[in-house]
Structure 1
Amino acid sequence: MVLSLETIQSMFKHLHWANQRILETLQIGEENKQANKLFSHILHAEHVWFTRLKGADSSHLPIWAEASIESCVEMVKQNHHNYAEFLSTLSNTGLDQLVSYKNSKGTEFHHSIRDILTHVALHGQYHRGQINQLLRAADLEPINVDYITFRR
């Protein structure tokens, strides 16, 4: 299955919407250290992948560093801006361009922009599910971040 640019753009609108919903909940609720750590990871990973998409070295960037809720607010804004701008310059054929990057262990990989963007969108959803599990364990209501809810 090959995702179109329109589908990927919709996935990133959903990503931002879902990040906003998680952020709002984490801002008003009692501190949940593990949920904050997972949310920080989502945002750091989005930044790392954006850096790789731009062809820059990401080896120095944190991936599991904890960030304050205030820092998360800024990262959500910056990541949204970066990806919205990046996606606005792409075409369907541009999605097939290969990006070379090194992971945190220094191993080099080559993936299409399409695959990287798909990964970023799905990676965050995976960890938002983990955050919801932690919220439920703390007797809090999980946040509905389902794509179909976003589309409604």
Structure 2
Amino acid sequence: MKALFEDIFQYHLQFNEMIGQQLKENNLLQGQEMQLYCHLLNAHQIWNARILHQAATPLHQLLDIDACFALNEQNHRETQEILAQRNLEQTIIYDNSTGDLFHHSLREILFHISNHHTHHRGQIAFMLRQQNVQPLPTDYIFYKRAQQSA
């Protein structure tokens, strides 16, 4: 299971980078697309911070594109460290943005983070189409196909 999560988060690293590059190339760094891109990266950082008992960034903090690329790398590095050092069934106790206390397994949280990335990249793809920009194919299977042909 850890190997699967390692692969999935490598996929998110790569495709988040590609989406950021597409936003940059199409000069879409000020609109809703960028806000959503920042949100998906910030949310990953917040979940990592909850797991690691560290300070979290604001959920809707707007970043410039270079800071987004750096946060994407940081998120990936921290998630890989979490996978290397933690048991997937470990219970993580955390409070949400309103102070309510919850507990979930690390496995459940990592699945949530992954699903959150995919969900918001889909929303960004929709927004890109509205801007007459052809979105990149970011399905996981495209990542796996590219690995097979490399």
TM-score, normalized by length of structure 1? 0.89
Number of equivalences:
144
Separation (CA, whole Å) in 2 of partners of 1:84 and 1:41: 20
Please say if residues 55 and 100 of structure 1, whose CA atoms lie closer than 8 Å, have aligned partners that are also in contact: no
Superposition deviation, residue 57 in structure 1 = 5.4
Quote how far apart the aligned CAs of 1:88 are: 2.3
Q: Is the 8 A contact 1:39 1:131 kept in 2?
A: yes
1:21 corresponding residue in structure 2 = 18
Partner in structure 1 of residue 41 of structure 2: 43
Report percent identity of matched pairs: 32
Corresponding residue of 1:126: 119
Counterpart CA distance in 2 for 1:57 and 1:69 is 22
- Between the aligned partners of 2:124 and 2:95, the Cα distance in structure 1 is 28
Give, in angstroms, the shift of residue 125 of structure 1: 0.6
Is 1:31 aligned to 2:24, yes or no? no
Matched with 1:147 is 140
Bigger drift between 41-50 and 77-86 goes to: 77-86
Provide the alpha-carbon RMSD of the alignment: 1.3
Distance 2:6 2:74 in 1: 17
Unaligned 5+ runs, structure 1: none
Tell me how far apart the structure 1 counterparts of residues 91 and 54 of structure 2 sit (CA, whole Å).
Answer: 14
Give the gaps of 5 or more residues in structure 2. 146-150
Q: Which string of whole-angstrom CA distances, capped at 9 and with x for unpartnered residues, describes residues 87-138 of structure 1? A: 2224xxx100100000000000000000000000110110000000000000
Partner of residue 103, structure 1: 96
1:105 aligned counterpart, secondary structure = coil
Higher relative contact order (CA 8 A, sep 6+): 1
